[in-house]
């Protein structure tokens, strides 16, 4: 459905989001909106009515969000475990945490994760990937994809 990238190296401080700069494949249907030069993605909770009724048992719009990047500890940092995780409306999703323990500073390793994120029906919520480490990290070649499997047949 939509894919956004950040290829240049960036320093991401603890609690801050990875900034995505390229949107060669933006959402054409308005379900995913990206604020330029940020890591914020506003996802729509629109769901399809069933049987002509606006009420159905599905109380959320389900997105499959896939993320991957290379992370490292910057010069001057302490070698140890570094992590990134998805957050929805500012709340980190613990099960989405991606950990990596480089052997030295400036040693890049890849992390990635796919997770289902339900967005409340008829609402919008912000999704981001943030540094949940206790120190700054380096990030490069980040990619995030948003897919709505329930709408795949309508393309």
Give the pTM.
0.89
Q: The CATH number of the domain where 114 resides is what?
A: 2.60.120.40
In this structure, the strands spanning 137-147 and 10-12 are antiparallel
CA distances from 86 to 47, 57, 114, 129 (A): 22, 26, 10, 4
pLDDT on residue 50: 62
Question: In terms of residue numbers, what domain contains 118?
Answer: 2-154
Total count of domains within the chain: 1
Classify 63 as helix, strand or coil.
strand
Cα separation of 106 and 72, whole Å?
A: 5
Q: Which of 152 and 83 is assigned the larger pLDDT? A: 83
Instruction: Work out the mean pLDDT of the chain and round it to a whole number.
Output: 90
> Does residue 81 register a pLDDT over 60?
yes
pLDDT tens figures, 103-145: 999 999 999 999 999 998 888 999 999 999 999 999 999 999 9
């Amino acid at each position: 459905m939509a894919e956004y990238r950040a290829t240049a190296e960036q320093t991401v401080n603890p609690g801050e989001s990875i900034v995505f700069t390229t949107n060669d494949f933006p959402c054409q249907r308005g379900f995913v909106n990206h604020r330029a030069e940020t890591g914020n993605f506003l996802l729509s909770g629109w769901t399809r009515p069933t049987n002509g009724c606006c009420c159905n048992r599905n109380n959320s719009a389900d997105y499959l969000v896939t993320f991957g990047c290379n992370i490292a500890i910057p010069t001057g940092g302490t070698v140890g475990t570094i992590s990134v995780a998805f957050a929805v409306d500012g709340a980190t999703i613990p099960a989405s945490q991606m950990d990596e323990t480089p052997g030295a500073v400036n040693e890049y390793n890849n992390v990635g994760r796919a997770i289902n994120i339900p967005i409340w029906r008829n609402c919008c919520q912000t999704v981001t990937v943030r540094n949940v480490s206790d120190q700054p990290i380096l990030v490069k070649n980040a990619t995030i994809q948003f897919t709505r499997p329930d709408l795949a047949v309508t393309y």
